[in-house]
Amino acid sequence: MITEKGASIKTALPGPKAQELLAKRDENIARGISYLVPTFVEEAQGALVKDVDGNVFIDFAGGIGVTNAGHAPQQVVDAIKAQAEKFLHTCFMVAMYEPAVELASRLNALTPGDYPKKTMLANSGAEAVENAVKFARRYTGRTGIVSFECAFHGRTLLAMSLTSKVKPYKYKFGPFAPDTYKVPSPYCYRCSFGQSYPGCSLQCLKQIERFFVTECPPDTIAAFIIEPVQGEGGFIVPPPEFLRGLKELAESHGILFIADEIQTGFYRTGSLFSISQSGVVPDIVTTAKSLASGMPLSAITGRAEIMDAPDKGEVGGTYGGNPLSCVAALKTLEIMQETGFAERAAEIGERTRARFLSMQEKYPIIGDVRGQGAMLAMEMVKDRVTKEPLPVKDIVAYAVNKGLILLSAGIYSNVIRVLMPLVITDEQLEEGLSILEEAVRSCCEV
């Protein structure tokens, strides 16, 4: 039980116990696994994380967007315990169980689109993306997949191939999966066509038609895959007209529209799914992260005829939709829907945006403030005119040392993003934002 109400840093980081564990970690864990906070967690509840030395952090990272319903919500923990007492695993492909069916039925009802849907449950975001591509290819009989610059879809071979940031995600990990293509991102702050939004000619959308002429005929493309707000790429919010135009283009060529809601889903952006805010109805939605409050679970939900395209045994996996994750997800969804998460996300978003905008007036390194709902970011630059990127690792380190867990993002690693649990209290939110401001100020004073 964490008794503190906010951040409380008692030792220099890492503290004595964490130092011992760090040494053991460095000896035993592969070097390529990075870490943000140089300590080890003892407990986490709501929006607070306590380490092995008694330091308490306000969490603006939420395990990378996984804890929208907070760390270890009691009802979710109870549901997992009750399920664990019954059985842990049978493999849904061997001996089935009700929670998986119930969850699929909930996701079919909740995802955008007023048409019959079906769901496949898997374990991770990357696995959901991989399978979404399998469904799209089998259904359309086509193989091409188009993703966007600045996209992040995961780290497995196909998902990595659809991802668009060379270092650290792709560098020297090729060759990549064939028949995957990138087109420009609707990244208005750094428009590839030198235009500014609103009032632009949506050249990024037109570029796709050009791509059909120069690169690949549309009748070979199975799907577009897009994050309704690009996450790791820097919380890039496509203009709604762009998403609608993309959907129209997809429809006109028989191309499927896959919305990757892995980071944006489950009220992060103020609505259950971000794509609804543009009015676009996707053919397939991928979800994971906050779906099950930290239990490994992902889902691919789509039009029934698409999801029924593969034959029995052609998709699946040993652990997909494991019973502990399914009961965790069912309880998480219940909590989110019954306790007004949409309103709370909007409130958190408004307060945070207002604070970011007032910071932007004071600190010239804040080039852009953007986001949707409680998925907000500040892009840092050395100069507002040249927009030369300012990497944010010092800001993040400063904040962590003061008791705020903070994430970076962006293709230039120059974006501060926030993914705080939506159960964060007003006091914790204000305290976290104050630490963040102090961290930004410290960087301006150097």
Ligand X SMILES: Cc1ncc(COP(=O)(O)O)c(C=O)c1O
Which window, 149-157, 183-191, 275-283, 372-380, contacts ligand X (CB under 6 A)?
149-157
The nearest distance, CB 263 to ligand X, in angstroms, is 4
The nearest distance, CB 238 to ligand X, in angstroms, is 13
The nearest distance, CB 262 to ligand X, in angstroms, is 4
DSSP state of 267: T
Give the residue with the Cβ less far from ligand X, 262 or 429. 262
Of the candidates 64, 72, 101, 443, which one interacts with ligand X according to CB under 6 A?
64
Give the Cα separation of 128 and 134 in Å (integer).
10
Give the Cα separation of 180 and 417 in Å (integer).
28
Q: Do 384 and 360 meet the contact criterion of CB atoms below 8 Å apart?
A: no
Q: Tell me which amino acid residue 374 is.
A: A
The nearest distance, CB 210 to ligand X, in angstroms, is 26
- Contacts made by residues 199-203, CB under 8 angstroms, sequence distance 24+: 202/239, 202/241, 202/242, 202/245
Tell me the CA distances in angstroms from 413 to 141, 251, 392, one per residue in order: 38, 35, 7
Q: How many residues bind ligand X (CB under 6 A)?
A: 15
Which residues, other chains included, contact 426 with Cβ-Cβ below 8 Å and sequence gap of 6+?
351
Give the residue with the Cβ less far from ligand X, 359 or 411. 411
Q: Which residues partner with 120 through β-bridges?
A: 300
Binding-site string for ligand X from residue 168 to residue 207, where x marks contact by CB under 6 A and - marks none:
----------------------------------------
Question: Footprint of ligand X on residues 233-292 (CB under 6 A)?
Answer: 260, 262-263, 288
Give the residue with the Cβ less far from ligand X, 163 or 352. 163
Question: Footprint of ligand X on residues 105-144 (CB under 6 A)?
Answer: 124-126, 129
The nearest distance, CB 125 to ligand X, in angstroms, is 2
Of the candidates 51, 149, 227, 368, which one interacts with ligand X according to CB under 6 A?
227
Q: Do 291 and 268 meet the contact criterion of CB atoms below 8 Å apart?
A: no
The nearest distance, CB 195 to ligand X, in angstroms, is 26
Q: Do 135 and 315 meet the contact criterion of CB atoms below 8 Å apart?
A: yes
Give the Cα separation of 401 and 407 in Å (integer).
13
Give the Cα separation of 202 and 193 in Å (integer).
9
The nearest distance, CB 231 to ligand X, in angstroms, is 4
Give the residue with the Cβ less far from ligand X, 129 or 237. 129
Which window, 74-82, 226-234, 242-250, 321-329, contacts ligand X (CB under 6 A)?
226-234
Of the candidates 154, 186, 321, 389, which one interacts with ligand X according to CB under 6 A?
154
Give the residue with the Cβ less far from ligand X, 7 or 158. 158
The nearest distance, CB 124 to ligand X, in angstroms, is 4
Tell me the CA distances in angstroms from 445 to 310, 330, 364, one per residue in order: 59, 48, 11
Give the residue with the Cβ less far from ligand X, 15 or 410. 410
Question: Footprint of ligand X on residues 307-336 (CB under 6 A)?
Answer: none
Give the Cα separation of 357 and 59 in Å (integer).
21
Of the candidates 40, 139, 148, 152, which one interacts with ligand X according to CB under 6 A?
152
Give the Cα separation of 368 and 347 in Å (integer).
21
Query: Looking at beta carbons, which residue is closest to ligand X?
Result: 125
**Under rule CB under 6 A, residue 299 binds ligand X:** no
Q: Do 157 and 176 meet the contact criterion of CB atoms below 8 Å apart?
A: yes
The nearest distance, CB 261 to ligand X, in angstroms, is 8
Cα angle vertex 135, ends 269, 207, to 5°? 60
Question: Footprint of ligand X on residues 386-415 (CB under 6 A)?
Answer: none
Which residues, other chains included, contact 310 with Cβ-Cβ below 8 Å and sequence gap of 6+?
134, 135, 138
Give the residue with the Cβ less far from ligand X, 66 or 440. 66
Instruction: Give the footprint of ligand X on this chain (CB under 6 A).
Output: 64, 124-126, 129, 152-154, 227, 231-232, 260, 262-263, 288
